[in-house]
């Protein structure tokens, strides 16, 4: 069996009870268009494959792909994409997928932003991630974990932390606890397409220095008086602003 490769951020799930809990939470149906990111040795792939008629996996490690192609698929179809998932176009074929996976810690945040760009073709997402990242994804305004990732994800998705997974459930054991999270695209969009770029720019700029005030962080966009005219205290920190406030600022700079 291939050893995990550090350069790919590989930590393979090996605990049978945890795998059972993951499959139960995902609740795959036979007709689902299911895609797994980072299947590794196939610990989750095999039980998912037996639940759906067709399963896609995205794996960058060529040696692992050889192992995956030997899995017992029975009458089910396993389609393997050998590529970097950050380059995978989720919208290319027009399929509306359910996406699952044990996301490599070293690319988890850029991958989540990549998925946001293809959200209209995604039904829902279930991911194992570093607990700290899951806490940021699911944070509420005012929390210490409330930040750019929280705002950007929750502007487009419902986020729900399902449970935590201890390090000893993986091989090799990572130095952190993991979390399992569910994301569902919002049925009613909170952002118009024309507002998205300005919204993303405001959020990124505001959280570039989280301990500084909005007046300091956003001075290249709006001065203190302009923020006050929007009903936003320029002395506030970015952690104190909810999504609607960021949207208000984005509209102002768009004008």
- Of 161, 185, 209, the residue that ends a domain is 185
Neighbours of 229 (CB within 10 A): 11
d(Cα 197, Cα 250) in Å, to the nearest integer? 9
Whether 191 maps to a domain, the answer reads no
Identify the pLDDT of residue 95. Answer: 94
104 occurs within a structural domain: yes
Radius of gyration of the chain from its Cα atoms, rounded to whole angstroms: 20
Percent of the chain, pLDDT > 90? 79
Strand partners, 184: 158
| Residues 146, 238: Cα–Cα separation, whole Å | 9
**Residue 39, token pair as written in the block:** 């299947």
Neighbouring C-beta atoms of residue 57, cutoff 10 Å: 27
Predicted pLDDT of residue 40: 86
Percent of the chain with pLDDT over 70: 96
Same domain (yes/no): 98, 62: yes
Same domain (yes/no): 43, 131: yes
Instruction: Provide φ and ψ at 13, rounded to 5°.
Output: -75, 130
State whether 136 and 201 are in the same domain: no
The pLDDT value given to residue 4: 43
With bands split at pLDDT 50, 70 and 90, how would you rate the model's confidence at 185? very high
Least reliable range by pLDDT among 6-15, 97-106, 150-159, 237-246:
6-15
Residues 115 and 226 placed together within one structural domain of the fold: no
Q: Which domain holds residue 88?
A: 6-185
pLDDT tops 90 at residue 22: yes
pLDDT at 3 over 80: no
| Same domain (yes/no): 43, 99 | yes
Number of domains in the chain: 2
Q: How confident is the model at residue 178 (pLDDT cuts 50, 70, 90)?
A: very high
Strands (E) in 24-94, as ranges, are 34-37, 54-59, 77-82
Q: Is residue 1, in this structure, part of any structural domain at all? A: no
Task: Give a yes or no: residue 245 inside a domain.
Answer: yes
Task: State whether 111 and 166 are in the same domain.
Answer: yes
168 and 225 assigned to the same domain: no
Residue 208's CATH number: 1.10.8.100
> For residue 191, what pLDDT is reported?
93
The whole-angstrom separation of Cα 189 and Cα 206 is: 22
List, for residues 66-97, the tens digit of each pLDDT value.
888 888 678 889 999 999 999 999 998 999 99
* 86 and 33 belong to one structural domain: yes
């Amino acid at each position: 069996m291939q050893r995990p490769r550090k350069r790919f951020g590989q930590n393979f799930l090996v605990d049978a009870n945890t795998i059972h809990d993951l499959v139960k939470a995902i609740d795959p149906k036979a007709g689902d268009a299911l895609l797994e990111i980072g299947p590794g040795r196939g610990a989750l792939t095999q039980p998912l494959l037996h639940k759906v008629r067709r399963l896609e996996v995205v794996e960058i490690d060529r040696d692992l792909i050889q192992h995956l192609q030997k899995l017992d698929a029975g009458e089910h179809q396993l389609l393997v994409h050998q590529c970097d998932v950050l380059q995978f176009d989720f919208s290319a074929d027009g399929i509306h997928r359910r996406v699952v996976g044990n996301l490599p810690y070293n690319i988890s945040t850029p991958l989540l932003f990549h998925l946001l760009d293809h959200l209209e073709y995604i039904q829902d997402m279930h991911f194992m991630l570093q607990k700290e990242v899951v806490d940021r994804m699911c944070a509420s305004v005012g929390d210490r974990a409330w930040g750019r990732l929280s705002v950007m994800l929750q502007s487009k998705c419902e986020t729900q932390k399902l449970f935590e997974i201890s390090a000893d459930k993986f091989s090799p054991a990572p130095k952190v606890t993991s979390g399992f999270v569910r994301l569902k695209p919002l049925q009613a969009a909170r952002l118009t397409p024309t507002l998205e770029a300005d919204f993303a720019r405001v959020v990124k700029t505001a959280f570039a220095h989280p301990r500084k005030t909005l007046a300091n962080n956003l001075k290249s966009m709006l001065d203190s008086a302009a923020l006050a005219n929007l009903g936003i205290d320029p002395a506030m920190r970015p952690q104190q602003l909810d999504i609607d406030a960021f949207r208000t600022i984005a509209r102002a700079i768009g004008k």
